Structure 1
């Protein structure tokens, strides 16, 4: 079973149909098999969408699947942005131009190793709101989101001449039902149905589906939606479970087939062998099972978009790179896994598989001189008006979503002993009178250090939000900053806390700042460099500690010497012939760097954990 992937040219005027009917996916009255790969428009600059989509098609796919990230579209309360990298309609139209169907996964919850699972951070500030449940304030917010999304893309469904063939109702809800047994199953089911009905009410009229592990279908299935299995490698089990929840018939689809896996800071980079992926793909092809690779192309968590898992550690922050060991690399390259799967697809499909498109040019930048440094304490903070409170406030209370907050308190009297910061969310560097005295890290459960504060001394705690939890029952517990009292020797420290907001939501302006530098203090490095040609490259961060990098105003994301990621992907479309600028916010600053360079290949698998 196959389809012609060239149906979606602009000159093709015929109205097409797509149905879930008689146990099959039916396109223009004929049964088909869906061969899909997942790619998220938000994880690659829009200038590269077409190249990545052509890569997906060149691997033999006829469909691209994408999540929609609510918090990527609503950038501040009531502020909606559907332009540039956020122009989801353009992404879908580009997929159509390339010759791909589109499967849409609009959430509102998406997981995806993305900040807060796609939810806007400020939902936590709405009185009486509880996310992902039958809660009216939450449903009202979802309604607004779905209305704005529908206005952009409902006319891009196949029922209106577009390429969207299916829409997901909620996302992996069965696992949440299993984790939240404190909520009655009936209430869970009413909530999921309410989300589907809201999508229908706003004009989504193609077939709906759900995506869960097959053993979670009971909690995750939604009336009127085809249940699809995530990660199910046993074809018989898939068919049995789908039949049980879909009137005794198919079609059968593995909605997430994992050719790679996700990665966290401080943990080994996960690699998945090509042979097993190829064998499993062939099993699906032989048995008429549709599938979607999650991910076929991962991309990058630019800026502060990476989330965190809630696993064995209190939190597992996700890498900036979302390479995922996918068949198409973070920079859009064909990998050996890609080549193997492309060769397999050629044996099974009757439609034409096009040539592999050219990759983007790659360059190396030998040396960028960093000719200005501005100390955070002696420069940046002096120009920020602090928020003063008797106790530390959370990021949310400060109306700040991302970045950093400096918590500062002056002590009239000397105090020493154990500083206890159990409410740390998520990473902190601690200073006394401007001298670094320790590091606290929620990820490794390090919440205490010994401290000695003289009389008339200042305590500084620089706290970083490492990404809100995107998966699991604690998704509602996602406040950032310092969320419980600061204690020293069991005593709560109150009175005149000064909080300096450092959201880094735009590139730092150092034009009016004098150069300053104190070893060990957080610092912003700045430099400029000229290029005769532009291309993709990878900043070498192996000699740096922890921080973020801006190139020409673009936040490339977080780096951290613990690894396994030691480079930052820099898209060539963000570079310019001639002058370019770089700013690096280095938190740890244990070594002064006067230059930085880039390399032509990424380093994503080198751990550098501190010695115990």
Structure 2
């Protein structure tokens, strides 16, 4: 009997052992320690310590791969991982917090400690990171008058609740409690947003109340603006990129705090990609040399990014000024690529880092958790039309207040964070306006003006008329003559909310009332031009949420209907829109596609979507990310841990429609294939101004070297267009380069650059993404650069959006040592 009991007890122990081990691992507590600032160095348990941190983002990595990515960072010689905490992924609905699964930030920190790594936590509330709305939750915008990143009572209330919830997860893991967390950041690059020390102080006090007075707190900013919000009792760190003049970056900090430790809290290894532009890369040599220099001088760093990963689903953000949405891949040209493999940059960095490993052997490079596999080409044969995705809780026929009104509602007003909305309204007759002197053959031109965030397709009675793309700053579209009773439909897809600058308050959908202007052109009867403007005041709004469950229901609705788009050719009337039979309309090609592929073995792969239009992809229920035919990204990384042997499902929501509904899996990603209607260059000769008879507002020479310079005009000047003529460079033979430009009004304040756009540039290095818009992209490490071999002088013209009164120009050359490409002699015009 005792033997039987022992056997049962032994079996029970075997069954419970994994759970016991997991619980024991979670409860492992090392000895309490300290991390502080000393004389020109950080002190770990009282001993000098150089932080060698690897920036990685846990939501951009599938949880089964977390430990592998941490081990890859350790194999580079890093001793710390640095992480953002993304508020909006943890609180996707107000008051509903999620720290499980891929959101289990505490487990990520425990895995770091298990592998001998310390942790730096950056809990925002704002994080930037090319992430949707910079990490702020979209539902904050349901309060239209909210002030983000300020002491707005509601904003601060929600911030403190979020930080408290994060603290419940992470406060037990500080070094003082035997955990791996050595530092926590206060806000993020606030100098690039504004100047508000009381706000930053309130964030500091909130974090101190959660993590205790002993834990080190720090703030990061650029060398040009860190003093705006620098608090006396916090550690100050600098952010700058590959190739920067490191001594110049720390010069001001050394003057203000000569005995403080130096740290580059974001040393940018590469850069992020945006839709419609070339894939960004940075030389490995510059990155390695910069880190070598910092380590030789005892300067700490965090390499942003060491491994970027993927902005799965709808989490990719957008840059500003203007609107430049980010692609799904966050490869970042990092040493560890998107799918966790070592790049040539990795091996060069590892070799250098070995010099600073205290004479010890470098940790082994771990084997990839999954092989790379291919998938033969297959067709997505099932189709469900777009209207099957309508959320019937918000339909006009249910008389929901949210669904209709005297103006179109934004996504936020419709209580939807991400997806697509169909806006519809009835039209009056505009092709036969009675005007005295008008003859029957006189010509009408109808123009629709809309402010759509972000990609709008326009239909009349279901027939496609054209698109309005926010990326291209488009706001108008020519319409055909309109007859009374016709229906105007505007299908608006929202992309990532802006994640940088003041424009982060980024509402989606139609953000103002559209207007239609009919112009009558007549050369008879004495009438040259007559305008009639109409603003529709009755709108119906139908939501199509970006959600896998919505996609599945779209196919369930098709079970009693034709299942292929070729068969779906009967007109439908009465669901808020109509369309003509067999026309190029609202339905054909736009909708959900489903297909399947079989796998004999599981592995990572890259599904190719270059034949598709624009939309979202789901694989086995996982939201993989956005696709857009314009590129540069044409593949989506699909982790093998989300695939299975046998049958795998894929659903594509394409709001434009594919050329061919086929997909295949390949062994390498395609991140640099553009399929544009025209070049991104701004060299249309018709946009070049004739400056021969114009009078410059300033003539002179810039000084050589790094850093900002200001050129004051003799008198205030007015104009809509800024033209800077570069006559020579500081070093003969250099290509012209400008990192940033600002204009000041007579009061000395910088003008907003939100409406700016490049009108003309005689030369732009398109292959390197050094286009004219880089001079006002809020990024000091990017720059406009002319093509190799192009002759002087060079001209850059910027449209300011409206006439402005200007008193001075601020100019920033490249940040690298010697400021290559710096302008010497110049002429500045305003016209």
TM exceeds 0.5? Answer: yes
Q: 2:672 aligns with which of 580, 605, 609?
A: 605
Picking from 367, 380, 400, the partner of 1:370 is: 380
In structure 1, the residue matched to 2:410 is 394
SS in 2 for 1:250: coil
Q: Name the counterpart of 2:647.
A: 579
Task: Check whether the contact 1:550–1:583 (CA below 8 A) recurs between aligned residues.
Answer: yes
Does the CA-based 8 Å contact 2:240-2:249 persist in structure 1? Answer: no
What's the CA shift string for 1:18-39, capped at 9, x where partnerless? 1112221111221011111100
Equivalent of 1:465, from 476, 488, 494?
494
Answer yes or no: is 1:432 the counterpart of 2:460.
yes
Cα offset, 1:52, TM superposition: 0.7
Paired residues, number: 590
1:72 aligns with 2:89: yes
C-alpha distance in 2, partners of 1:382/1:176? Answer: 37
Picking from 304, 324, 328, the partner of 1:316 is 324
Partner SS, residue 231 of structure 1: strand
- 1:443 and 2:443 matched: no
CA positional deviation for 1:235: 3.8
Q: Say whether the 8 Å CA contact 2:147–2:155 is kept in structure 1.
A: yes
- Per the TM alignment, residue 561 of structure 1 is displaced from its structure 2 partner at its CA by 0.9
Q: 1:432 offset after TM fit, Å?
A: 2.1
Q: Aligned partners of 1:523, 1:13: CA distance in 2, in Å?
A: 54
On the 8 A contact 2:121/2:184 being kept in 1, the answer is: yes
SS in structure 1 opposite 2:380? strand
2:190 is matched with which residue? 173
2:657 to 589, 597, 602: 589
Structure 1: which 5+ residue stretches go unaligned? 1-7, 178-184
Query: Residues 127 and 309 from structure 1, CA distance in 2 versus in 1: closer, same or farther, beyond 3 angstroms?
Result: closer
CA–CA distance in 2 between the matches of 1:145 and 1:420? 43
| Separation (CA, whole Å) in 2 of partners of 1:324 and 1:216 | 25
Change (3 A) 1:448 1:358: same
Instruction: State the alpha-carbon separation in 2 of the partners of residues 128 and 11 from structure 1.
Output: 46
* Alpha-carbon distance in structure 2 between the residues aligned to 1:94 and 1:542: 37
1:196 matched residue in structure 2: 204
Name 2:451's counterpart in structure 1: 423
Q: Which residue of 2 aligns with 1:62?
A: 79
| Alignment of 1:292 onto 2:308 | no
Residues 12-23 of structure 1 aligned to structure 2 (within 5 Å): 13-23=30-40
Aligned residue number for residue 494 of structure 1: 536
Aligned-partner Cα distance in 2 for 1:267–1:336: 24
Residue matched to 1:236: 247
Residue 325 of structure 1: aligned partner = 333
CA radius of gyration, larger in? 2
Does 1:335 find its partner at 2:346? no
SS of the counterpart of 2:192? helix
Paired with 2:56 and 2:30, the residues of 1 have a C-alpha distance of 27
Deviates more, 1:404-413 or 1:353-362: 404-413
2:602 to 515, 530, 534: 534
TM-score (norm 1): 0.92
Q: Is 484-493 or 259-268 further displaced after alignment?
A: 484-493
1:93 paired with 2:122, answer: no
CA–CA distance in structure 1, aligned partners of residues 451 and 28 of structure 2: 59
Partner of 1:280: 290
Mapped partners of 1:260, 1:414: distance in 2: 53
Q: Tell me, yes or no, if the aligned pair for 2:76 and 2:362 is still in contact at 8 Å.
A: yes
Deviations 1:512-568 (A, max 9, x none): 313242665412111122222111111101111111111011111111111111111
1:475-494 alignment runs, 5 A limit: 475-476=504-505, 478-489=506-517, 491-494=533-536
Contact 2:609 2:634 in 1 (8 A): yes
The verdict on how the C-alpha distance between 1:13 and 1:550 changes in structure 2, with shifts beyond 3 A counting, is: closer
2:224 alignment partner, SS class? helix
Aligned pair in 2 of structure 1 residues 559, 160: CA closer, same or farther (>3 Å)?
same
| 3-state SS, counterpart of residue 556 of structure 2 | coil
Between the aligned partners of 2:665 and 2:459, the Cα distance in structure 1 is 32
Q: Which 4+ residue blocks in structure 1 deviate beyond 6 angstroms?
A: 8-12
Shift of 1:303: 0.9
1:419/1:486 contact within 8 Å kept: no
* Unpaired runs of at least 5, structure 2: 1-24, 396-402, 432-443, 518-531, 567-583, 680-831
- 214, 218, 225: which is aligned to 2:227? 218
Tell me the CA shift for residue 417 of structure 1. Answer: 4.0
